[in-house]
Structure 1
Amino acid sequence: MVPRLRSFIGTFLIIFLVVIYALAATTVATFMLATSPWWVHFLYFLFSGLLWILPAMLIIKWMAGPRPPRS
């Protein structure tokens, strides 16, 4: 696949990932943490705020394409 097309597709995948993940994380927090103390909210949003990085790293790795062989 052409690197420019791979980057174009990857950019939209990351945007889609962030939007869907933010909606899902906020929905879970709204329904599950409504009566929880502040520190539970803090830990949840700290963890969920960092968790989206893992799938984003996979998309970025895919966008970079295959590694050239070492000589």
Structure 2
Amino acid sequence: MSTRLKSFIGMLILVTLVIIYALVATTVAAYRLADSEWYVHLAFFGLSGLLWVVPAMFVISWMLKPSKKEAEEKRNAKN
């Protein structure tokens, strides 16, 4: 798979991830934290705001990894 195609697919995955994650986090906060104190809200949104980075990190590392063909071409170019 070419790097351009992987980047496009990864971008679609990341946009979908962020939208779904934001909707889920907001829904959980609305139903579970409605009567909580401000510091509970702050902790929840701080943690949930950073937590989406973990799956995004794996998607981005997959996007940037060269295909086998590209890696072989790069290796042959060095020789």
TM-score (norm. length: structure 2): 0.83
Show the 5 A alignment for 1:1-71: 1-66=1-66
In 2, distance between residues paired with 1:27 and 1:40? 15
* Count of aligned positions: 70
Root-mean-square deviation (Å) = 1.8
The structure that is helix-richer by fraction is: 2
In 1, distance between residues paired with 2:48 and 2:3? 31
In 2, distance between residues paired with 1:42 and 1:23? 17
The residue type equivalent to 1:54 in the other structure is V
1:24-56 CA-to-partner distances (Å, cap 9, x unmatched) read 000000000000000000000000000000000
What are structure 1's unaligned runs of at least 5 residues? none
Deviation at 1:66, TM superposition (A): 4.5
